[in-house]
A = this chain, B = another copy of it.
């Protein structure tokens, strides 16, 4: 397979979270990082686990069980890291997203740069 299949949006988000978290990437931390990246929209924990499973099936991430830690409720975590394939898929996906962004920004920039910039983040009935 020369090119990895293109990622879904949520898959992209989860991979990005793992990319950021480095050594501390496991279900719960990934979930909260994804939540942070996704903005105001609520993200369920189950969604994260399901997606991690599918990413692992596709060989984009690898996982292993850590030892328990001596804290209250500190049971063993399943830690994740990006595989080479995953990094590459994320890279391609990010570049593709950027390209779309550039096109959209250019079109909008020509037509309505001013009003668009002013209204940033507001609700316009």
Question: With contacts A9-B8, A97-B97, A98-B124 known, is A103 near B41, CB below 8 A?
Answer: no
B107 engages A95 (CB within 8 Å): no
Please count how many residues in chain A sit with their CB below 8 Å of the partner chain's CB atoms: 34
Choose among B8, B9, B16, B123 the residue that contacts A104 (Cβ–Cβ < 8 A).
B16
Is A100's CB under 8 angstroms from B99's CB?
no
- Binary contact track A80-114/B, C-beta < 8 Å → 1, others 0: 00000000001100111111110111011000000
Interface: A120 (CB within 8 A): yes
Q: With A39-B96, A95-B124, A124-B95 in contact, do A103 and B20 touch (Cβ < 8 Å)?
A: yes
- A residues 1-58 near B (Cβ < 8 Å) are 2-3, 6, 8-9, 12-13, 16, 19-20, 37-41
Q: How many copies does the complex hold?
A: 2
A-B contact pairs, 17 of them (CB 8 A): A9-B9, A13-B100, A16-B103, A16-B104, A19-B104, A19-B107, A37-B99, A37-B103, A39-B96, A39-B99, A90-B104, A91-B116, A94-B100, A94-B104, A95-B124, A98-B98, A98-B101
